Structures are given as C-alpha cells and as structure tokens.
Structure 1
C-alpha cells in the first residue's frame, strides 16, 4: 500500500480529482489555477469550516469515508440554513506524508457521495503535508433570486419549529467516549450527520422569518436567533420530540447536543408546517431563551470551552 508521500502532491491531486463528477454549476473544474463557477443569481452564499483531527474527528472512531461525508454535511447545512441551494465545494486537505493513499481516496469518496445527495460538486482545492490531518472546506450556494433567510427576522407571534435529527450525535459521542459501541444508530449519527437538505426550500415555502442550522445545540442556536432578532424564544419541552433510542438523557441531548445539523426556524403563526417539521414553541417579546417558562441548566458547544 503506497503512502501519500510516495505518490507526491501532483500524483495525489490527479488521483483524487479524477474521481470527482462535476455538476452544472461548475464551468471549469479541477486542473487549472482556479475553478470557474456559475452564479445565476448574481450573489453567492459562502461559508467555510475546519475539521481538525483529534478535535473534530478521531480516526479510531471514524473511517475516512465518514469523515468526508461529515465535512461536506456540516458546511452544506450552513448554506441550506440561508435558504440557498448548494452548488460547489472547495476542499483544502492537510495530511501527514505517511498516510496511505487509500485513506485519502476513501475520504474523497465520502466528499463526492455527500455532494451528490445535496446536488453540488467539489470544484477544486489544495493538498499540503502537515503533522496532523486537517480539512478546510469552503461551500458556495445560490439563492435563485430569493432573499436570504437569516437569524434576524423572527418576530413576536411567530412559531418555532425544528426539522431533522437532534441529540443523536451528542449521544453517540458520549457512547464513544465511554468505550461503548451501541446503540449503533447513535454511533452512526455521530460519525455521519444527515442534514435534511430540503429544509431551506421547505422553510421558505412556509414563509419562515428566520432559519438556522442546529450545529452547537438547539437552545444555544435558538439563542442566536433571539439575539439577532431582538426577541425571546420560548420552548415547550412537552412538544419536543425525544426518540426512545436517546435513553434517559434524551431531552438533554436534544436541547444541548450539537453536530446533528438539523434546522430551527421561526414561522408565521398562520403557517401549516409539513409533517417533517415539529412546532416546539413560540416567539415573544423579551430576550433570551426560556424552557417551560424558566432557565435551563446546560449549554451547547463552544470550541474554546470544550
């Protein structure tokens, strides 16, 4: 099995990019000094994220394919949260030279698979040697002529609704840290988040006033909406779905666990959300987030606290 160092930078780039299909948003893909990407709307939604080995993933817990899927999912969820359609990813990979080429190939297989689910493409990037694996992802999206959905539009009288899996990744991480491997559903959820990529379009169809990717914990992220909008968000735990697989700490995981990349939206009280969305509270005058009328002990994820 050859290593990346033996193959060399340009050999690795060729090996990886030859496997990347290009979608209609890409006018010129990998192979030149830069990619050329179509932007029909005239505006580009852009976001970037880092995944550092030992901080955001561990190779003894996740395989390269799963790491690739996760890297794409957490970036595209931010694009979708703006009400945009994902179009293109740029991928920077820092990797030790002794890493097997097969590891990088499986990583890019995961990148390509997750991009296919969301209808976008990896259009380019860079590879460098480094002491530990780091992925730097830039994701682009198109608004298709619509205004962006931000955190700042919630108003008193709106309802609060959620979409997608919440709490599963945090529960899976807790299991891995304790050396357990079951329930497998939770372990898989931590290794590979599955954002509902249709959530942005669904939220727009409901007339959403604010939308956000739940990456750092539901309550913490609702707090960002409350602060940006100058309102209070009130959550009723009786309406919060807590799957049985989450166990005794299920509600805590749903309210504070991150990295599932579900979505939280505020919608008009007259909206009729589809079955995939669950109304869990309301927007009122005031500030901050209340849970069942009071404060809730326990916060979400903070990169500089954890």
Structure 2
C-alpha cells in the first residue's frame, strides 16, 4: 500500500477511488464504469502533476524523506554488478549507516560508498537511520584510499539527515572523523562523483560528497543543517522548520543556480518512489557519463578540478 504525504491527501482520495473502481470492474466486467474510471484516472493524474509542479521547499523536504524512496541498497541492486561490501574502519567497529564496497558500474570498476537509512523498522535501527558514527567516516576514508591505490573512481550516494549526534560519537571524535573524510576526498587522485538521492544533511553529507561532480535528484535536498535544527537555532522553535526550509535555499533547483551542484536528475511525477527503476537507471547514466569525463586525466589534474570547483563556490556575481 502506497504511503502518502500530508500535502498529497487530495491525490490519495482520488487514487483510492480509482483503485476501488478497478476492483469493482475486475469482479464484475459487466459493470459499465469504463468512462467513469478513465475520468477519475485523468483527474488523479492532473492533481498529481499540478501538485508536483509547484512544490514548496518544505514539501520537497518531505518528498526527500519519503520512506518508499529508493535507498543505497536499491541503487546497488539496480546498477552495480558483483558488488563486494567491505566492512570496518580497522580502529573501532563496523558502522552500518555507511555501506561501501567494490563493484562494476557499466563495466567500470568502482568503489561505491553511501548512506543506508533502512526500509523498515528493523532496517532503520540496524542502519541507525543513515546517521553515521565516526567509525563510518573512518571506514569511508579507508575505502577511498584503497580506491586511490588501485585507480578506481569513487561513487558516493548521499542520504542522511546528518552525522549521529550521540555522546558516544562525540567521545570518539565525530568532528575530527568528518574533517579527515572531507580532506581525504580532496586528496584523491581518482574522480569522485556524488549523488544526493534523498537528504544531504550537514557535514554528514559533505564528508563523502566533496566530489568532482555533484548531482541531485529533482526532489532531494542538500543543507548545512536540517530545517528543524536550523529553526531551533534561529528562532528557538523547531516548529518553524517550514520557514527555515524556505529561507535556507536547500532545493536542487536553488543549489544548481548557486553553482553548488552540477546537475539535476529528473524524477517521475510524484517522486522517485513512483518509478524506482527509471530513476536508478537515469542516475546510473549520469554517473557513468561524469566518470568518463576524466578519462585520460592525470591524478594532479583530477585533484585540481575538484579543488577549483569548491574554491569557485560563492565567487560568482
């Protein structure tokens, strides 16, 4: 059964009626409801198109967090052949919030690293809702250095509300781990291509998204802090998250205009969860094209490209 967001309630009612009529027709083909069914389907589709044509930043935030949205494991299953997960940071523990490993993307050997939120209650608890601890970022450093050693491009898939803010994580050096992970990205002599597939939250996202090319799905968000956290900081009121989302310019469209990201991957009307396979294929095509841009470039040229990209941010205008 499909999960609907608050602002999708009118669409939910129409699609529910469509489903009821279809069930009625299936049970008794003699019932003359074909015209009514077609009319309702058209009305439901029109409502969906109109709603998604004018989403507010807060509504986009809700879509980015949709529980049925494709996660890291779906992209691996749909794009990466012979994926071999590599676990542990070799210092403290294995962190399930960040998954990484080697595989083949359209025949290219790549290192894929990304956040996994989990798709059900058990999975969300196992993966800590995609909020990584220090060992997750130290694992990412280990895998990126391995990729550099074997000349493999790095692909990162970002989907996190932010790094885990717990006491244990802070005791084990959360800020230092994120900083070293970001620094590692800048040092690599292989191309890094990053895709924001849902939430790109704070340093937890930047740590693995300091890339040569950064893309966002159409309804994903990328932000220095979650709207709720920003509202708490600015107004001492997390209920003003909607105001924060609007003022922070966190949507893919805003960030493309500011030169923070390099491109937007369109989503089907209604969000990525309505056509998971199509979105994953489109994402794969963009990632492969971005990687091949660096064919024949030296390690120094790749590093220079990445550094210049970030140094250029904020200079325009």
What TM-score results when the alignment is normalised by the length of structure 1? 0.23
Of structures 1 and 2, the larger Rg is shown by 2
Q: Which has the higher contact order (CA 8 A, sep 6+)?
A: 1
What TM-score results when the alignment is normalised by the length of structure 2? 0.22
